[in-house]
């Protein structure tokens, strides 16, 4: 188990440490959803781009089950774009 030297542990930190214990790293956790292959979506225009996907819904639900807050599907989709998955 990964440990911290923080006197107080927040629910977010517990969630992060839980993911690291289970998957080895946050990178492995997120890239595991796409088998380490980035998704390439082609859109005809910016207005055709979604703000959520089934994958972002799935990640959001999993993170909420792990105790994370403020991780709705839109936030997860934006994060997925930021880390290029």
Give the DSSP per-residue string, the chain: ------SS--HHHHHHHHHHHHHSSHHHHHHHTTTT-------SSGGG--S--HHHHHHHHHHHHTT--S--HHHHHHHHHHTT-
User: Does residue 67 carry a pLDDT above 60?
Assistant: yes
Tokens encoding 38: 């980035």
pTM (2 decimals)?
A: 0.78
Give CA–CA dist 66/63, Å, rounded.
5
> Comparing 84 with 28, which gets the higher pLDDT?
28
Give residue-wise pLDDT tens across range 35-44: 877 777 777 7
Interval 66-82 mean pLDDT: 92
Domain boundaries, the chain: 11-82
11-82: CATH topology is Endonuclease III; domain 1 (1.10.340)
Residue 55 confidence (pLDDT): 93
pLDDT, tens digit (0-9, with 9 covering 90-100), for 5-20: 555 567 888 889 999 9
């Amino acid at each position: 188990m990964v440990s911290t030297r923080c006197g107080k542990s927040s629910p977010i930190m517990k969630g992060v440490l839980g993911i690291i214990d289970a998957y080895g790293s946050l990178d492995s956790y997120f890239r595991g959803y796409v088998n380490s292959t980035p998704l390439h979506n082609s859109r005809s225009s910016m207005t055709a781009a979604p703000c959520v996907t089934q994958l972002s819904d799935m990640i959001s639900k999993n993170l909420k089950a792990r105790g994370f807050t403020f991780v709705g599907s839109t936030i997860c989709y934006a994060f997925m774009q930021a880390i290029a998955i």
